[in-house]
Amino acid sequence: MSNPYPEIYLVRHGETEWSASGKHTGRTDIPLTPKGEAAARGVADRLKDLSFQAVWSSPSQRAFSTCTLAGFGATAVKKPDLQEWDYGAYEGVKTKEILVQRPGWQLFRDGCPDGESAADVGARADRIIAGLRAIEGNVLVFSSSHFLRVLAARWLGLPPEGGAHFVLDTASLSILGYKHDLSEPVIRRWNQK
Asked whether residue 3 is domain-assigned, the answer is: no
Domain of 177, in residue numbers? 8-192
Residue 105 in contact with residue 76, Cβ under 8 Å?
no
CA 169 – CA 191 distance, rounded (Å): 6
Which neighbouring-strand residues pair with 11?
142, 173
Which pLDDT score is estimated for 3? 75
Q: Is 84 in the active site?
A: yes
Asked whether residue 121 is domain-assigned, the answer is: yes
> What are the tens digits of pLDDT across the range 133-168?
999 999 999 999 999 999 999 999 999 999 999 999
Looking at 15, 24, 84, 91, which residue is catalytic? 84
Which pLDDT score is estimated for 2? 65
User: What is the pTM (predicted TM-score) of this model?
Assistant: 0.96
> What are the tens digits of pLDDT across the range 114-135?
999 999 999 999 999 999 999 9
What ranges in 102-144 are assigned the alpha helix state H? Answer: 107-110, 118-133
CA 150 – CA 154 distance, rounded (Å): 6
Asked whether residue 2 is domain-assigned, the answer is: no
Roughly how many angstroms between the first and final C-alpha of the chain, as a whole number?
22
Q: What's the domain count of the chain?
A: 1
The enclosing domain of 103 has a CATH number of 3.40.50.1240
Q: Which residues of the chain have pLDDT under 70?
A: 1-2
Asked whether residue 1 is domain-assigned, the answer is: no
Which pLDDT score is estimated for 98? 97
Give the CA angle between residues 111, 148, 184 to the nearest 5°. 115
CA 19 – CA 47 distance, rounded (Å): 23
Q: What percent of the chain has pLDDT over 70?
A: 99
CA 26 – CA 10 distance, rounded (Å): 18
Which pLDDT score is estimated for 1? 45
